[in-house]
């Protein structure tokens, strides 16, 4: 089976030095992916912000990334997301799964493959945006590795690249949001349209604006890298557990 991990902030080294780099050409543009064997399966890695983290969240070519994975035959993928905590569901430095999202990007992105004309029109149901099968596999692997993880949470997706105001965070909290980021809703929608089984795995790097008396206190880069390494291990192990 072919699987993929899509990473962003702090994920530059997640593929490792032994991964094979290639450029995939899609109808929506080119994107770089990294490939490595994972047991009997193939595991692809994609960096949504590009190599060197050069593309801001509102300009990421999400369609090219998801289309490339589809062209490569990927049937299941896990997105890894840095977030700010809105509630205590996932405290800074901790991990969680997404089960719902609220899209606050304002329709300013290319977030659908179905643009009319030759591309057609479809309305993809989003009752369950994230795969129950993959979420269960991640939870099982987290238990095996003794990694604490929250099993649900609502992700607020803003357009970026600016961070949120305290007033916006207060509103998001009233809406039922648990953490805030800038990428997951777009990626999740496209993965669902492409028929790729998808799960979202978050790690909190700070309290969202207005919720920390100290201000925006991001976790240190060294700690973040350890968390990302742990998440990559968790995600790849979850794929393996489905074959056990």
| Percent above pLDDT 90 for the chain | 69
Q: CA of 214: how far to CAs of 163, 170, 206, in Å?
A: 16, 17, 11
- Say how many C-beta atoms besides its own lie within 10 A of residue 89's C-beta: 18
| Pairwise CA distance, residues 98 & 201, whole Å | 6
Distance from the first to the final alpha carbon of the chain: 13
For the residues 49-70, what does the mean pLDDT come to?
94
The chain-wide mean pLDDT, for the chain, equals 90
Give the per-residue pLDDT at 99: 97
Give the per-residue pLDDT at 53: 84
Residue 40 token pair: 């009997």
Compute the C-alpha angle 219/166/227, nearest 5°: 20
Give the per-residue pLDDT at 233: 87
Count H helices and E strands in the chain, helices first.
5, 11
- Residue 50's contacts (CB-CB under 8 Å, 6 or more residues apart) are 32
Give the per-residue pLDDT at 29: 96
The answer to whether residues 152 and 135 touch, using CB atoms and an 8 Å cutoff, is no
Give the per-residue pLDDT at 10: 65
Give the per-residue pLDDT at 97: 98
CA-based torsion, 223, 225, 228, 234: positive or negative: negative
Q: Which domains, ranges and CATH numbers included, belong to the chain?
A: 2-241 (3.40.50.1580)
**Per-residue pLDDT tens digits for 184-237:** 999 999 999 999 999 999 999 999 988 875 455 566 666 777 888 888 889 989
**Per-residue pLDDT tens digits for 104-146:** 998 778 999 998 888 788 899 999 999 999 999 999 999 999 9
Residue 127 token pair: 């009752």
**Per-residue pLDDT tens digits for 157-170:** 999 999 999 999 99
Phi, psi dihedrals of residue 4, rounded to the nearest 5°: -145, 150
For the residues 11-40, what does the mean pLDDT come to?
87
């Amino acid at each position: 089976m072919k699987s993929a991990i899509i990473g962003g902030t702090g994920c530059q080294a997640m593929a490792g030095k032994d991964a094979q780099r290639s450029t995939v050409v899609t109808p929506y543009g080119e994107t770089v992916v990294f490939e490595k064997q994972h047991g009997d399966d193939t595991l692809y890695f994609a960096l949504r912000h590009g190599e060197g983290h050069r593309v801001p969240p509102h300009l990421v070519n999400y369609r090219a990334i998801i289309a490339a994975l589809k062209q490569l035959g990927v049937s299941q993928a896990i997105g890894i997301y840095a977030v700010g905590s809105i509630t205590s569901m996932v405290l800074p430095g901790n991990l969680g799964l997404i089960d719902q999202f609220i899209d606050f990007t304002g329709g300013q992105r290319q977030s659908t493959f179905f643009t009319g004309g030759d591309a057609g029109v479809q309305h993809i149901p989003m009752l369950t945006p994230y795969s129950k099968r993959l979420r269960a596999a991640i939870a099982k692997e987290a238990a095996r590795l003794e990694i604490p993880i929250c099993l649900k949470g609502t992700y607020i997706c803003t357009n970026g690249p600016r961070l949120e105001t305290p007033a916006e965070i207060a509103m998001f909290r009233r809406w039922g949001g648990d953490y805030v980021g800038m990428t997951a809703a777009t990626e999740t929608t496209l993965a669902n349209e492409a028929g790729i089984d998808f799960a979202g795995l978050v790690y909190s790097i700070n309290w969202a604006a207005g919720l920390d008396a100290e201000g925006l206190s991001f976790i240190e880069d060294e700690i973040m890298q350890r968390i990302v390494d742990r998440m990559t291990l968790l995600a790849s192990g979850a794929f393996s557990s489905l074959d056990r």
